[in-house]
Structure 1
């Protein structure tokens, strides 16, 4: 039923199946959501353009100083009410140990980027099947953080006027913050909520802990965001609650990846097949399209005579008597 018929040379009718319908948009979407092997040139371009866009938007947000300071005062009061307002004590205590605070200044300025890029490279090389989904978590986390910078300008503790916080970069003349010293005009100083130092470091730490095989490397994965939390507080760049904001953004990122791929990134297959290319087939010694040379060609019996000189017998089809 629903099949077309054609008449063969023998006068018999044979059923011909209807052609398969073109794939719908749902099939195209399914292909987009399937794990695939990343392409290096595309990933480099995507990360470069994305970070440039992130920096452009983040720094284009108006620096609403008065509102940012009011929000900082309110947040500081809230932390006092919650009994967690110990950032100033930590800031003063660590600032008294010069080698430690100087190291934290450079930690704050560099590892935020080095570790995140290092984890991306590791994923690309060792877990290509999980790379795109895990990268999506990072991108979605950063994207929603931009909304927070726009809607809730917040001064970091070191810029508050009626407190005793110490700007450790200025105090020790180190390059440790894009919002201090000569670099302050290159970055929005009031984009402290949420903390992407926490969002990115917890993303890196969870990825290392979930996928690394060496036990001590997995432990380092957990210690990295813990150390980052101490650094952002000791250098007076963030409040505790800024870190909470970063975790909320990260949870949003994992939710986006879970909905898009239908699974958490770390449960996806580790390896995926590379897309076939003509060059790879030639390198393996196979001529192009070798597999399809005989595809669709009807069977042709040999025309060579048999050993006794008679012509070869024509094979009978099942319909012949």
Structure 2
């Protein structure tokens, strides 16, 4: 056994600064519980009220009262036709008068797709009708699946792990050169290593706080935001715009991860002066240390992509920057407007501080995230081209896509207000 001189050991310890408190070791199981709890709470809060999943005592599903095809054209209930007869012939998919095919615009062409509303009484359709937020959870599972592919595709495209690692390191160094050695250096007056050093020198409480919220501001925080906005948005159209923007921002980032792998500052050689403050003592979060996580995906920052969308949504939701409000949307109080204004500004700044101080991203990563997010907002309706595929999938699964409950809270409040007003006038 070779003994190490004491002075060498002390020098090594002295070279490693105090990185602040690590994430709690319980993160590995607490954070998934937090995410699942948020999802269950969202399913409950955003459920369709007054709707029963099981069949009624008369043997007829209460869904019939919610569906436009539950009545005949003259407005009377149509009880004379057996619904199963409409499933007896495949030609009925595009010829049925009771369930006419849907018309979807796809790449400038009108596409006729199957109308799956005939499956509204199926048990799994009724579950979705009761808990429509399940559809949003399905969309985000697809996002996660595509994200996991970026790591494997990049390794294949760049000659395996070793070649990918060297290329990613070169890209990370290139970003530092662009920020601090090119003509653009006036835009980045503070170097990332100096920014981190400020926290590591006599501000350990702050870096401990940033270490512990690094993962919480990403997956759990984003899931909580989507759950809240599904409930609070004035209409599902408003919510869907935000969701499509975030999803398109995801896919823009996924494409860059695949073809421009970039090493985060924490993985660069020690000569660059960065320290990995988040991953200490095997207490890292499952969201930053799982096998599915792509460690060479610094550019652009998904953390800031989500934060920028969330902050912009808060600013819009405040109503300060909108002259016209949505249907049934009341004007918020001054206190509420200021609250969302401050939240919309501070939340992205907090996330930016977290990702740079912990050496997980460069300043330019956040700039790139702002650009891809802005473009995603302008082009978010591009996702409409997938509607025909969604219609076909619903037909294959024999399920009817539910009507969202977003905005119904405001409609109930408006109805209650008018009812009280009418009683007062009477």
Alignment TM-score, normalising by the size of structure 2: 0.50
Out of 362, 369, 372, the position equivalent to 1:249 is: 372
Distance 1:129-1:188 versus aligned 2 partners, 3 A rule: closer
- Give CA deviations for 1:89-143 in whole Å, capped at 9, x if unaligned: 0111112322211110122111112222122112211223311121100100001
Give the deviation of 1:44 after TM superposition: 2.2
User: Does the 8 A contact of 1:129 with 1:272 survive in 2?
Assistant: no
Q: Which residue of 2 aligns with 1:18?
A: none
Which position in structure 1 is the counterpart of 2:150? Answer: 58
Question: The residue matched to 1:111 in structure 2 has which SS?
Answer: coil
Give secondary structure in 1 for the equivalent of 2:225.
Answer: helix
Structure 1 pair 232–177 and aligned structure 2 pair: CA distance change class (3 A)? farther
**Equivalent pair of 2:148/2:292 in contact (CA under 8 Å):** no
Q: Does 1:135 align with 2:227?
A: no
1 CA distance for matches of 2:215 and 2:282?
A: 13
In the TM superposition, what is the alpha-carbon distance from 1:250 to its structure 2 partner? Answer: 0.3
- Count of residues in Structure 1 that have an aligned counterpart in Structure 2: 237
2:192 pairs with one of 72, 82, 87 = 87
Determine the structure 1 residue equivalent to 2:141: 48
Q: What does 1:267-286 correspond to in 2, within 5 Å?
A: 271=407
Give distance in 1, aligned partners of 2:312 and 2:212. 23
Whether the 8 Å CA contact 2:172–2:262 is kept in 1: the answer is yes
Change (3 A) 1:177 1:65: farther
**Residues 23 and 230 (structure 1 numbering): CA distance in 2 closer, same or farther, change over 3 Å?**
closer
Structure 1 pair 115/75, CA: closer, same or farther in 2 (3 Å)? same
TM-align CA RMSD: 3.2
Q: Residues 29 and 99 (structure 1 numbering): CA distance in 2 closer, same or farther, change over 3 Å?
A: farther
Q: In structure 2, what is the equivalent of residue 223 of structure 1?
A: 346
Classify 1:107/1:23 alpha carbon distance in 2 versus 1 (closer, same or farther; 3 Å): closer
Q: Retained in 1: the 8 A contact 2:315–2:344?
A: yes
Do the aligned residues in 1 keep the contact of 2:193 with 2:274 (CA within 8 Å)? yes
**Aligned pairs for 1:1-321 within 5 A:** 25-26=104-105, 39-51=132-144, 53-60=145-152, 61-62=154-155, 63=161, 64-81=164-181, 82-83=185-186, 84=188, 86-96=191-201, 97-127=203-233, 128-161=236-269, 162-170=271-279, 174-175=283-284, 183=289, 185-212=291-318, 213=332, 214=336, 215-257=338-380, 271=407
8 Å contact kept, 1:157–1:237: yes
Q: Which structure ranks higher in relative contact order (CA pairs < 8 Å, sequence separation ≥ 6)? A: 2
> Structure 1 residues 246, 94: CA separation in 2 closer, same or farther (over 3 Å shift)?
same
8 Å contact kept, 2:304–2:352:
yes
Q: Distance in 2 between matches of 1:99 and 1:136?
A: 37
Give ranges in structure 1 of 5+ residues lacking alignment: 1-21, 32-36, 262-269, 274-321
Q: After TM superposition, where is structure 1 displaced by more than 3 Å over at least 4 residues in a row?
A: 22-31, 170-174, 176-179, 258-261, 270-273
- Taking a change above 3 Å as real, the CA distance of residues 176 and 86 of structure 1, as seen in their structure-2 partners, is farther
Find the structure with the greater CA-based Rg.
1
Partner Cα distance (2:218, 2:287) in 1: 12
| TM-score scaled by length of structure 1 | 0.65
Deviations 1:201-241 (A, max 9, x none): 01001111111341213311210001111111111111111
Structure 1 pair 24–235 and aligned structure 2 pair: CA distance change class (3 A):
closer
**CA contact under 8 A between 1:209 and 1:218: conserved in structure 2?**
yes
CA separation of 1:160/1:129 partners in 2, compared to 1, >3 Å: closer, same or farther? Answer: same
